[in-house]
Structure 1
């Protein structure tokens, strides 16, 4: 292509059309974007070589790592991307002789040039992008489950199938649409797998109030989604006098009993991921990034950022697979923390947060919920959740929650909740009006709740007094949306902008089939939802 880079996978892409030139809005350089495309092309080559074979476990792991590493705000380190690409190619080459002259459907076992995708017919490109970006999000969930020893062969095999399809030139729209919907089905299975892995490992989440005050003395901030990394850090810091604070999507960890049992898991530091450059400015403690949501690191704290797993950034200390967090612990003791307790607040001034309203907790109160709906105490449920970002206009979700009827209940999950999760919305029918269900992968729990309520009311999910108002930023939100569409859920309100990679033809299909609504204003959307127009 004529420009130096092309990327349109996240919501904040330049001009709502695509990042080009020398760098993307997320901060990755054109060279990093090129290397990520080369890695993706190598993964497609691996899928081609694995066609009609049984790939080794090493190939499965590389598929997950490779797709995960290309998520937005995960890996900015060119050297690690080159190394991962080389590993993929080596495993692919070891499989090639088994193909006996290549028996795959495309008659190829080489890598794929992603420029061929970016210049494809716009509807084909759109569907392949939905498939590819959805798999990138799903790979993160599968990766976390695999770390805990949980795998599903049908989920793993779909990555090969989907990658093969992205690189195959013989598919028309009618071939790709079923694959895109299938990816939503498989992602639901993947989220169920991770839901089970987390609960069987760390216990059933229970509601918890989490302080935002940082106590004096040495501490470590841990960000991301990987509960296993948090557990290892908690074990290694026992008896050191170091306190641990969650950040961003790690907040729901406070709900799990096997993590909450550690007394030095104290609270939550700061707000959403996109505020880190301001909130980490001169922070007197190290920050450990376990998954995505890493922003370009500022000089005022670059000596205290550590990465692990698939996350990488040039010049930062990376903790390898052995998970020896000694460098992080030593940095915490060196920096010493604050010399007094620091009372931090949320975006709206609140000093504490609640989390842990998983599907078990909500369904345990199903009798109260059903009675509240039947007698008119509860008018409606709004699931207001998804990924957060820095683009102006995301205050829509705060205003929506503030203006929602006072007899409605707000369910929320993922990091979008930081826009409003420190608000005191009171109670309705004896229940808190704001129920934080957890991380983005806990969308599976929201589905379980919706299905259970539909059964209780003897209706379909679409007939419930339930509206989904979703924000999206990166690819995990894409795969969750595809899962909701697979379930046939309609009338989803999506914003703050629609994906640049969805062509007008594909958008028309989604609107016609599923009544997807681009968000407008909170006032107008609430009136439309409540039938007041």
Structure 2
């Protein structure tokens, strides 16, 4: 247990170059991502988030809690509002790490939130036939500040630090909020395709409102955390169906890692509908489209791979963009939470889309990509440079389509164990563990992988077992849904629980979507998860002890030691 606690606070002591030497006053506090310096960024975010943006994002969450107070009570009277529901998803997603770095854009959302708070209160009072009779939390009373400077000052008073709430209760509240931020990203992608589920909105209001209820205790919030995991599963299922209905089920597909002669656009992020629209608008224009980061699995979808100019994948995980993008002679566009501070060498050919914002970078709001196309046509593009191919497209439909062969291989002893090695990648030291682990997995074991953590090892040749590839790329982080479906199907085939399967979860985390997925696994009762490279700073020792005692969750150790422990 002592080693676990030590690991919990074992954060890197590196600081951001923008921090002033000798400065001790805290301008902000954020510890929602894995790379947070010294247990929490207090001057400038390691991600590049400035104190004013941090304060505005804190105020946005605070405002959404106030909206949720009224919206939850209005729902209790049978009244719902789509504008409010959609705003809550967009607002939560905006505050996810590496989404919005623009103070003015976040301030616009805060002002809209203040208006919607009044609307939510009015909806309740109309349905109630009068004012609320109970005590109204401060967050639900709204505010009159309007200028960005006033909002920043107000936001500084409503950050995540609080001495008024028990530390363990606050810890679980933060886990819930970060889980909601994670599933909000998936709900946003589904909504872009026109799919939504009212259960997601109802829980969002209930859970955010609960954080204002001082009568609730620790176990009330533990229950809400488990329910948040269930709602994330509902959301991932919604997005999976939205994607597969729109683009077909992924199929195993070789992806070119080299480049082709011609003009070029690079797409980074997660959103498949945005990619489809760009493919349509560039068809026949002599522009090749490349994926980056979490967009790699797009190549496995029949409805996307049919476009001949979806040429390949360029680069690796999000944290390497600054050194990779300088070598991309075309336009670049981000559609979700992956953007870093852009270097001047490529900033003039960089675009963001939708909620993703960076100051002084052109944002595309909608599905008209003419400015991106125009920029790509003005740039030199690539000469042909074909290279290695890798496989993607092993979603649940593809894997379960050969389940009989997999089951037979397990029963015959040809496959001894399955390892799900996946999650977010990042820049902090310690992530070479995942490469070493994958390299040392015995040749009679199969590796399932997903999200950008796979870039640590997905170019290695793992071979196959009786025609079954030893490395199966399931897809994006949201495709943890596929991994869960595969695990449930195997458990059914062997008439056992998931925890009795020869299956181990070796997870890397970085931001809030990983929190949502972890809560889903805990909701499903999955135990013995290895998590790294460091444990979240927002988890207190008592909450960590609860996770250890009930789920045997623990930090990664050494690749050799962990493999020996798992395989015996």
Asked if the contact 2:263–2:288 (Cα under 8 Å) also holds between the matched residues in 1, the reply is: yes
Question: How high is the TM-score relative to the length of structure 2?
Answer: 0.90
Instruction: Work out which of the residue numbers 348, 370, 379 in structure 2 matches 1:335.
Output: 379
Asked if the contact 1:408–1:433 (Cα under 8 Å) also holds between the matched residues in 2, the reply is: yes
Distance 1:491 1:314 in 2: 43
Asked if the contact 2:29–2:161 (Cα under 8 Å) also holds between the matched residues in 1, the reply is: no
Instruction: Work out which of the residue numbers 145, 158, 167 in structure 2 matches 1:114.
Output: 158
> 1:292 maps to which residue?
337
| 5-14 or 49-58: bigger deviation | 49-58
Instruction: Work out which of the residue numbers 73, 85, 93 in structure 1 matches 2:98.
Output: 73
> 1:18 maps to which residue?
40
> 2:31 maps to which residue?
8
Asked if the contact 2:256–2:386 (Cα under 8 Å) also holds between the matched residues in 1, the reply is: no
Are the structure 2 counterparts of residues 134 and 104 from structure 1 closer, same or farther at C-alpha, using a change threshold of 3 Å? farther
> 2:234 maps to which residue?
189
> 1:347 maps to which residue?
none
> 1:401 maps to which residue?
438
> 1:92 maps to which residue?
117
Give the secondary structure class of the aligned counterpart of 1:337.
coil
Distance 2:298 2:160 in 1: 42
- Cα drift, residue 2 of structure 1: 6.0
Are the structure 2 counterparts of residues 12 and 116 from structure 1 closer, same or farther at C-alpha, using a change threshold of 3 Å? closer
Q: Does 1:202 align with 2:202?
A: no
- Cα drift, residue 92 of structure 1: 1.4
Q: Does 1:49 align with 2:74?
A: no
The C-alpha deviation readout for 1:148-191, integer Å capped at 9, x for no partner, is: 11111111111111111223332210211100111001111111
Asked if the contact 2:137–2:212 (Cα under 8 Å) also holds between the matched residues in 1, the reply is: no
- How many residues align? The count is 521
Give the secondary structure class of the aligned counterpart of 2:141.
coil
Distance 2:533 2:526 in 1: 20
Asked if the contact 1:312–1:318 (Cα under 8 Å) also holds between the matched residues in 2, the reply is: yes
Are the structure 2 counterparts of residues 282 and 167 from structure 1 closer, same or farther at C-alpha, using a change threshold of 3 Å? farther
Instruction: Work out which of the residue numbers 393, 410, 428 in structure 2 matches 1:356.
Output: 393
Stretches of structure 2 lacking an aligned partner (at least 5 in a row): 1-23, 143-154
The C-alpha deviation readout for 1:119-149, integer Å capped at 9, x for no partner, is: 4322011100100000000000111111111
> 1:462 maps to which residue?
499
Distance 2:325 2:131 in 1: 54
Distance 1:89 1:518 in 2: 41
Are the structure 2 counterparts of residues 343 and 104 from structure 1 closer, same or farther at C-alpha, using a change threshold of 3 Å? farther
- Cα drift, residue 106 of structure 1: 4.8
Stretches of structure 1 lacking an aligned partner (at least 5 in a row): 345-350
Are the structure 2 counterparts of residues 104 and 418 from structure 1 closer, same or farther at C-alpha, using a change threshold of 3 Å? farther
> 1:434 maps to which residue?
471
The RMSD of aligned alpha carbons is: 1.5
Paired residues for 1:404-415 under 5 Å: 404-415=441-452
Paired residues for 1:152-171 under 5 Å: 152-171=197-216
| 247-256 or 107-116: bigger deviation | 107-116
> 2:59 maps to which residue?
38
Are the structure 2 counterparts of residues 104 and 491 from structure 1 closer, same or farther at C-alpha, using a change threshold of 3 Å? farther
Asked if the contact 2:266–2:332 (Cα under 8 Å) also holds between the matched residues in 1, the reply is: yes
